[in-house]
A and B are shown apart, each in its own frame.
Chain A
């Protein structure tokens, strides 16, 4: 299966199968490069300190896992990162600069895309339309272009469509392009969310429990998809409850517990970390 090129308008690597302009080899060469850095992020909801000085460092080209018990603050961190919540303390740095998390669309334009724990597709729209929506941040045509039908607008709209079809092929949903999104089976809806997120040409793809509710076969397919996305140059930040999946897939893992990051390391070390074991099994349980 051939991965689509980055931009149907400006051809860059038509044959290398790159999802992103960052080639896999470049990603390896700069493996120690930091793509995303959360610096002492704090978020309080009334009396609950949901995030308490959380810092994580995601390197370019890696699959980075974020785990922790229910209510540890994983999704809250995602929501702060993607501009859905405003954090009270700390800052995010992305791709070498401070990240403006003032509004979700600016975060998307900076190169961060995400999926949701509870699937949030545009249910009444077609599968193809869902992915085409994701192309908006990467194309220009405005209100007046749309009304006046300039040649540029028309060419752009057909480029958006082609790119969206390519992405559906990439996640294996091309046959379902014209179906209504809400009629898809559960596993396909999850893959559609990933295709929609990839349509924004992200440097960082943030997946919130992508394997939730999937059976073993679907989880294996998902795992292969995530590895392919990384191989194509997109850094992956993954929240997941399936510990086996996380330990097998991630290069490095951070553990949150009650809004505090209690560990950040490679999976082998995380699995032996006493504090992590206590967080998962309960205090005084050893």
Chain B
């Protein structure tokens, strides 16, 4: 029972991070019909800028909470700018090009960001300063750290805020209109380029915070970390129904739980032939199953007009 509970807790933490990253994929897909494959690398940039700021602030003698807040703010700003720049430079000129063109550009941007990061911050795993040892509590035979609680709570608050932004504000109204028909939204006086830029800004800001969560949780940052994380978050978005914001949240949490539980029990089920080092395989089994059995995802709408 305690293994189960432990894996559920781990899965929720992992799922919260997946959900935050999946939101970026799903919002951009909803509005542009484009898979932004560079999104995972924005998470990586968030982790690296967060780490650099954290080290600098701690070295300057700032207290830990303020250093964390400063690092998060800096990473959000840096990634927000990066996301807007990616859209402006790499995707907007291809807005009316055949669909394959922006997809290839997305992969190019992803590789570019990875190697610029490798040059800026080295190809080594960079570790957090030793100051981080989260407090641990025991709950029913499972252990929970304060960091895990913080990650899940913060992700929950961010997702609630995003839902409110989309359904309760003028910007959200413009985003939904642009998603449904950008041409008509333009005719109603909405500057759709600005709405699209705002979408990238919001998605990238969430990615930055996810990057900091990953950094704190695993204690390291690496220039290639965005690749696997991005693929899994993309899987989560597809699982929930790509283009659906609640779907990305649900898909992220579910994928985190599936991955965590499956890797926790795979050793028992296979008599020790496969261990938890096969954990990455589950996300992609899920991806294949969803694409075969329910391509629209859990909360996705059946594809209508969009080609």
Please name all residues of chain B whose beta carbon is closer than 8 Å to the beta carbon of A147 when the two chains form the complex.
Answer: 165, 171
A200 & B189 in contact (Cβ 8 Å cutoff) = yes
B176 interface residue, CB < 8 Å from A? yes
B187 & A124 in contact (Cβ 8 Å cutoff) = no
Give bound CA distance, A283 to B189, whole Å: 43
Q: Given that A137-B189, A146-B165 are contacting pairs, would A104 and B183 also be in contact in the complex, using a CB cutoff of 8 Å?
A: yes
Residues 82-101 of A contacting B (Cβ, < 8 Å)? 82-84
In the complex, which of the residues B181, B190, B194, B301 contacts A120, with contact meaning CB atoms closer than 8 Å? B181
B122 interface residue, CB < 8 Å from A? no
Residue among B187, B192, B194, B198 with the most chain A CB within 10 A? Answer: B187
**B154, chain A: closest CB distance, angstroms:** 17
**B74, chain A: closest CB distance, angstroms:** 18
Please name all residues of chain B whose beta carbon is closer than 8 Å to the beta carbon of A116 when the two chains form the complex.
Answer: 184
Please name all residues of chain A whose beta carbon is closer than 8 Å to the beta carbon of B171 when the two chains form the complex.
Answer: 142-143, 146-147
Q: Given that A104-B183, A105-B190, A108-B188 are contacting pairs, would A125 and B176 also be in contact in the complex, using a CB cutoff of 8 Å?
A: yes
Residues 147-203 of B contacting A (Cβ, < 8 Å)? 165, 169-174, 176-177, 180-181, 183-192, 194, 198, 201
A54 interface residue, CB < 8 Å from B? no
Please name all residues of chain A whose beta carbon is closer than 8 Å to the beta carbon of B169 when the two chains form the complex.
Answer: 146, 153, 157
A55 interface residue, CB < 8 Å from B? no
Among A42-50, A126-134, A236-244, the stretch in contact with B: A126-134
Q: Given that A122-B176, A146-B169, A157-B170 are contacting pairs, would A84 and B189 also be in contact in the complex, using a CB cutoff of 8 Å?
A: no
Please name all residues of chain B whose beta carbon is closer than 8 Å to the beta carbon of A120 when the two chains form the complex.
Answer: 181, 183-184
**B172, chain A: closest CB distance, angstroms:** 8
Q: Given that A124-B180, A125-B180 are contacting pairs, would A160 and B188 also be in contact in the complex, using a CB cutoff of 8 Å?
A: no
Please name all residues of chain A whose beta carbon is closer than 8 Å to the beta carbon of B187 when the two chains form the complex.
Answer: 82-84, 104-105, 107-108, 113-114
Residues 180-229 of B contacting A (Cβ, < 8 Å)? 180-181, 183-192, 194, 198, 201
**B109, chain A: closest CB distance, angstroms:** 23
Please name all residues of chain B whose beta carbon is closer than 8 Å to the beta carbon of A14 when the two chains form the complex.
Answer: none
- Interface size for B (C-beta < 8 A) is 25
Give bound CA distance, A159 to B171, whole Å: 15
Give bound CA distance, A199 to B184, whole Å: 14
- Interface size for A (C-beta < 8 A) is 38
B165 & A137 in contact (Cβ 8 Å cutoff) = no
Please name all residues of chain A whose beta carbon is closer than 8 Å to the beta carbon of B201 when the two chains form the complex.
Answer: 143
Give bound CA distance, A125 to B176, whole Å: 8
Q: Given that A108-B186, A108-B189, A134-B189 are contacting pairs, would A122 and B170 also be in contact in the complex, using a CB cutoff of 8 Å?
A: no
B189 & A129 in contact (Cβ 8 Å cutoff) = no
A278 interface residue, CB < 8 Å from B? no
Please name all residues of chain B whose beta carbon is closer than 8 Å to the beta carbon of A129 when the two chains form the complex.
Answer: 173, 176-177
Q: Given that A139-B170, A143-B201, A146-B165 are contacting pairs, would A104 and B186 also be in contact in the complex, using a CB cutoff of 8 Å?
A: yes
Give bound CA distance, A267 to B201, whole Å: 54
A70 interface residue, CB < 8 Å from B? no
Give bound CA distance, A44 to B158, whole Å: 50
Give bound CA distance, A266 to B251, whole Å: 62
Give bound CA distance, A143 to B174, whole Å: 11
Please name all residues of chain B whose beta carbon is closer than 8 Å to the beta carbon of A141 when the two chains form the complex.
Answer: 170
A136 & B170 in contact (Cβ 8 Å cutoff) = yes
A16 interface residue, CB < 8 Å from B? no
Please name all residues of chain B whose beta carbon is closer than 8 Å to the beta carbon of A146 when the two chains form the complex.
Answer: 165, 169-172
Q: Which B residue's beta carbon lies closest to that of A132?
A: B173
**A197, chain B: closest CB distance, angstroms:** 8
Please name all residues of chain B whose beta carbon is closer than 8 Å to the beta carbon of A137 when the two chains form the complex.
Answer: 188-190
Please name all residues of chain A whose beta carbon is closer than 8 Å to the beta carbon of B190 when the two chains form the complex.
Answer: 105, 133, 136-137
Residues 198-245 of A contacting B (Cβ, < 8 Å)? 199-200
Give bound CA distance, A160 to B174, whole Å: 13
Give bound CA distance, A83 to B187, whole Å: 8
Residue among B170, B174, B184, B201 with the most chain A CB within 10 A? Answer: B170
A196 & B183 in contact (Cβ 8 Å cutoff) = no
Give bound CA distance, A125 to B172, whole Å: 12
Give bound CA distance, A257 to B173, whole Å: 40
Q: Which A residue's beta carbon lies closest to that of B201?
A: A143
A156 interface residue, CB < 8 Å from B? yes
**B259, chain A: closest CB distance, angstroms:** 32
A123 interface residue, CB < 8 Å from B? yes
Q: Which B residue's beta carbon lies closest to that of A137?
A: B189
A122 & B181 in contact (Cβ 8 Å cutoff) = yes
Please name all residues of chain A whose beta carbon is closer than 8 Å to the beta carbon of B183 when the two chains form the complex.
Answer: 84, 104, 120
Please name all residues of chain A whose beta carbon is closer than 8 Å to the beta carbon of B185 when the two chains form the complex.
Answer: 122, 133
Give bound CA distance, A108 to B171, whole Å: 18
Interface 0/1 of A69-86, CB less than 8 Å to B: 000000000000011100
Residues 143-173 of A contacting B (Cβ, < 8 Å)? 143, 146-147, 153, 156-157, 160
Apart from the given pairs A122-B177, A157-B170, A200-B188, 18 other A-B contacts in the complex at a CB distance below 8 Å: A83-B186, A104-B187, A105-B189, A105-B192, A107-B187, A108-B189, A116-B184, A120-B183, A123-B180, A124-B176, A124-B301, A133-B173, A133-B185, A136-B174, A136-B189, A143-B171, A143-B201, A196-B188
A–B Cβ pairs within 8 angstroms, 20 of them: A83-B187, A104-B183, A104-B187, A105-B186, A105-B187, A113-B187, A113-B188, A116-B184, A120-B181, A122-B176, A124-B180, A124-B301, A125-B177, A133-B188, A136-B190, A139-B170, A141-B170, A143-B194, A143-B198, A146-B169
List residues of A whose CB falls within 8 A of some B CB. Answer: 82-84, 103-105, 107-109, 113-114, 116, 120, 122-125, 129, 132-134, 136-139, 141-143, 146-147, 153, 156-157, 160, 196-197, 199-200
